[in-house]
Amino acid sequence: MLVTCTNEWTSEDSLTVFCGIDWAERHHDIAIVDDTGTLLAKARITDDAAGYNKLLDLLAEHSDSPDSPIPVAIETSHGLLVAALRTGKRKVFAINPLAASRYRDRHGVSRKKSDPGDALVLANILRTDMHAHRPLPDDSELAQAITVLARAQQDAVWNRQQVANQVRSLLREYYPAALHAFQGKEGGLTRPDARVVLTLAPTPAKAAKLTLAQLRDALKRSGRTRAFDTETERLQAIFRSEYAHQLPAVEEAFGHQLLALLKQLDAACQAADDLAEAVATAFHQHADNKILLSFPGLGPLLGARVLAEIGDDRSRFGDARALKAYAGSAPITRASGKKRFVGRRFVKNNRLINAGFLWTFAALQASPGANAHYRRRREHGDWHAAAQRHLLNRFLGQLHHCLQTRQQFDEQRAFAPPLQASA
């Protein structure tokens, strides 16, 4: 029987069989070894249901059971094969390919490489160093669904911004009036009114001919509900101002390119909005949502992103330091002899640290304690990013405590010394 405690493995009945899988797009190589490193079986399976069943049958032939499943090492953490393996109590270890390549050198110096050989290397990693690797977390089905939705929404936001940047670069080539009209507003070129107006007038010449009635109708179609007269007059004045122009035929060609980009931007904005709604719906169904939303600066979208990356398996992180290291907010020390360097982490969960920076930036306005902590770090000599990272480090420690103890964030307890000192 396996017992997990702070991500370290102990055993009452020692494991004697280990499985390694070299993952590929069309097929997978399997290697099963015992505790002495003897190869018990090897096989190649196809990437379909028949192949997965063949793998499960092969594991069953070597003492695999629901109560004592054989642990599996594989170089990916997602996909149908991993989903098939994660049923029941089986521990699946996602080994970083870079780490696997280092282990390969232990078995030969000729730098030879093969798929069956890589599967054997992965199996031996569990045989010798299982304690040094983390199994995939045992997250709930809802948490895994939130992970899919939150990451997809985050990707959609990044894609939306990428397309918006392409539109901005194009407008700088021939249409500066559009930039003056919308770039300074919240949302910029991704605003519905900006997209509708630019679709109606993709060139400066057409924009200059727009009447107040046409502009008013465009703003209504974009969903705007107030201040029509002020906005239409402002837009007409900008579009009819004097700017440099491209040649008429060149300007028309740029207009066709802009229309094509606007279709992509409309689709990207719609995808981001639809996914945001799905994320919020799923997040509010999770038991941890009230704890996450109690933290200053965290709304449904950011809260869902944080939950998506840390999961709801409370045994995943043995202590707050593990969570901070995973997020990349905790510093890392490199020491050798008399030399010692403390710096930021480069190996981290990039999605979590991205959400963390947005979280701490929003918390500066929502939490007096967080703002005071940030100011102290700046006065101490930290740059903006370093001060944010330090504040995130503190928030993650508090989040870990709140999730473990099932209590909500308390501003007075979280930042008690600074608030009392200022009082």
Closest listed residue to residue 269, CA positions, set 349, 175, 156:
156
Separation between Cα atoms, residue 358 and residue 304, nearest integer Å: 13
Specify the DSSP element, H or E, that contains 400. Answer: helix 384-405
Q: What is the pLDDT of residue 102?
A: 86
Q: What residue ranges in 79-128 does DSSP mark as E strands?
A: 92-94
Closest listed residue to residue 170, CA positions, set 236, 268, 259:
259
Bridge-partner residues for 10, per DSSP? 3
Q: Which two tokens stand for residue 330?
A: 């905790």
CB 124 within 8 A of CB 100: no
Contacts 24+ apart (CB under 8 A), 380-384: none
Separation between Cα atoms, residue 403 and residue 309, nearest integer Å: 14
Separation between Cα atoms, residue 76 and residue 59, nearest integer Å: 19
Separation between Cα atoms, residue 341 and residue 298, nearest integer Å: 33
Site of tokens 């070299």: 22
Bridge-partner residues for 214, per DSSP? none
Amino acid at 346: F
Q: What is the pLDDT of residue 417?
A: 66
Which residues lie closer than 8 Å to 366 by C-beta, 6 or more apart?
Answer: 296, 297
Q: Which two tokens stand for residue 41?
A: 């079986």
Coil, helix or strand for 27?
Answer: strand
Specify the DSSP element, H or E, that contains 318. Answer: none
Of the CATH numbers 3.40.50.300, 3.40.50.2000, 3.30.360.10, 3.30.420.10, which one belongs to the domain with range 2-136? Answer: 3.30.420.10
Q: What is the pLDDT of residue 99?
A: 86
pLDDT tens, per residue, the chain with 423 residues: 333 333 444 444 455 899 999 988 889 999 999 988 899 999 999 999 999 999 999 999 998 888 889 999 999 998 899 998 988 889 999 998 888 888 888 777 777 788 889 999 999 999 999 988 989 999 999 999 999 999 999 999 999 999 999 999 999 999 999 999 998 888 899 999 999 999 999 999 999 999 999 999 999 999 888 888 899 999 999 999 999 999 999 999 999 999 999 999 999 999 999 999 999 999 999 999 999 999 999 999 999 999 999 999 999 998 999 999 999 998 888 888 888 888 888 888 999 999 999 999 999 999 999 999 999 999 999 999 999 999 999 999 999 999 999 999 999 898 876 445 455
CB 128 within 8 A of CB 81: no
Q: What is the pLDDT of residue 420?
A: 53
Neighbours of 292 (CB within 10 A): 23
Closest listed residue to residue 374, CA positions, set 392, 347, 396:
392
Coil, helix or strand for 155?
Answer: helix
Separation between Cα atoms, residue 421 and residue 270, nearest integer Å: 48
Q: What is the pLDDT of residue 42?
A: 92
